[in-house]
């Protein structure tokens, strides 16, 4: 599943005509974990396609089977797990995608406000003479 989300961080001008990310304020997608309930957070993202002019990034979301705790010791430490079934994975993926799509129906400003993450900072454009 490919989704588009706002970007946070800071771009700096590297004097070569294109922008690069700041070492101290990394350019990245907003934190999706701030948008979703914890049960929907077991996914990874990759292949970012940035649109710095719009302050957005398109990312590929992927899910994989996870280990589910089934036994714990007296201190609460997990002692035995089982692999999530394919049916459980499909159900979790569908629920996660539905929750993401609901959140991503909001404007970028609303998403920045909800995650409490600032908009992408960009260097001032220098006008050529």
pLDDT category, 129, cuts 50, 70, 90? very low
Tell how strand 44-51 and strand 28-29 pair up: unpaired
Nearest to 59 by CA among 110, 1, 9, 112: 1
Q: Answer yes or no: pTM beyond 0.75.
A: no
In this structure, what token pair is assigned to residue 45? 């993202």
Average pLDDT, integer, range 1-14:
85
Nearest to 40 by CA among 115, 108, 98, 84: 98
What is residue 43's predicted lDDT score, i.e. its pLDDT? 85
Q: Tell me the per-residue pLDDT of 49-81, one tens digit each, with 9 for 90 and over.
A: 989 889 999 999 998 888 899 999 999 999 999
Nearest to 22 by CA among 30, 34, 33, 13: 13
């Amino acid at each position: 599943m490919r989704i588009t989300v706002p970007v946070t961080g800071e771009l700096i001008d590297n004097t070569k005509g294109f922008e690069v990310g700041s070492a101290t304020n990394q350019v990245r997608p907003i934190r999706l974990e701030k948008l979703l309930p914890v049960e929907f957070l077991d996914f990874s993202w990759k292949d970012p396609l940035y649109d710095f002019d719009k302050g957005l990034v398109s990312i590929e979301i992927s899910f994989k089977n996870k280990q589910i705790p089934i036994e714990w010791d007296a201190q609460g430490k997990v002692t035995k797990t089982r692999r999530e079934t394919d049916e459980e994975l499909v159900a979790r993926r569908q629920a996660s995608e539905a929750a993401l799509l609901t959140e991503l129906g909001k404007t970028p400003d609303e998403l920045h406000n909800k995650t409490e993450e600032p908009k992408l900072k960009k260097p001032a454009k220098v006008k050529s003479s």
